[in-house]
Amino acid sequence: MNRKIIIFALIVFVVGMTQLAHGAQPLEELKAPIEQVISILRDPQYKATSKKDLQREKMWENARKIFDFEAIARGSLSRFRWDSCTPRQREEFTDVFTTFIGNNYFNKIQGKYHNEEVVFLKQEMLTESKARVLTKIKRESLEIPVDYSMWLRGGNWKIFNVYIEGVSLLGNYRNEFERFLTNSSADELILELKKKIERQKKGEIVEK
């Protein structure tokens, strides 16, 4: 009898410890910053055009908490392409690409936010340090499935890939950059992304 209680207590203890060791669960880790971004979008204090930069900065803050941009940049190049880059190119590419995808995303949601709602469906633990979190964005009658691949790196759950309607962010950029790098250099890719960012800036916030 006593042994049973001890075993039970041990199990509870061990389960509790693993929970502790892994920190929060991926879905929970994802939820907080995303809900934060939505509340920033809804916040009337950022309505004025002059406040849009501040609003964007706040959204960046939250994005950086949860997105593993280093990993996303690295994974968007094949192993071979990454290895052929100089350390300076790697660093520059990571910065430029992060700004590029972030601006794309924020331009879209900041320009025309239609009370979209994010529903957190469930998390699937693939291994103890890798998970898939399924969500959907509800816009009027439309439901857009958005799934996040998350991993436990450096002690925190972070997003390293996003699937929008089944289309992998990493996969798509891998295809794009591979095509581009077949005929051009890494520096040209960086330059091309910079040009794109400049163009994004011109069209920023304007509803297209």
Partner 1 sequence: MRYVSILLVVLTVYTTGCAHRSTITPSGEQPTPPSLPNGATQPLPEKPNPTTGKNEQEIFLDKDLDTLYEEADAGVVQVSDPIAPLNRAIFYFNDKLYFWVLKPVARGYRYLIPTPVRIAVKSFFYNLTTPVRVVNCVLQGKLSSAGRELTRFVVNSTVGMLGFVDIAQNYPQLSVKEEDFGQTFGTYGIGNGFYVVWPILGPSTLRDSVGMIGDRFLNPVTYVQPIEAAIGVAAYEKVNDTSFRIGDYEAIKDASLDPYAAIRDAYIQHRRKKTEE
Q: Which of 10/142 has CB closer to partner 1?
A: 142
Assign 3-class secondary structure to 63-86: HHHHECHHHHHHHCCCHHHHHHCC
Strands 130-139 and 117-127: antiparallel
Q: Which of 12/32 has CB closer to partner 1?
A: 32
Paired residues of 119 in beta bridges: 136
Contacting partner 1 within 23-52 (CB under 8 A) = 23
Local structure of 141: helix, strand or coil: coil
Least distance between partner 1 and beta carbon 85 (Å): 13
Starting at the earlier edge strand, list the strands of the sheet with 167-168.
117-127, 130-139, 142-153, 156-164, 167-168
Give the separation between CA 198 and CA 51, rounded to whole angstroms: 20
Q: Does 180 bind partner 1 (CB under 8 A)?
A: yes
- What does the per-residue mask of binding to partner 1 show for 48-77, with x meaning CB under 8 A? --------xx--xx--xx--x-xx--xxx-
Contacting partner 1 within 122-141 (CB under 8 A) = 129-130, 139-141
Q: Which of 38/159 has CB closer to partner 1?
A: 159
Local structure of 205: helix, strand or coil: coil
- In the block, tokens 């892994």 appear at 22
Least distance between partner 1 and beta carbon 179 (Å): 6
Strands 142-153 and 156-164: antiparallel
Contacting partner 1 within 82-121 (CB under 8 A) = 91, 94-95, 98-104, 107-108, 111-112
Binding footprint of partner 1 on the chain (CB under 8 A): 20-23, 56-57, 60-61, 64-65, 68, 70-71, 74-76, 78-79, 91, 94-95, 98-104, 107-108, 111-112, 129-130, 139-142, 149, 151-156, 160-161, 163, 165-172, 174-180, 192, 196, 200, 203, 207-208
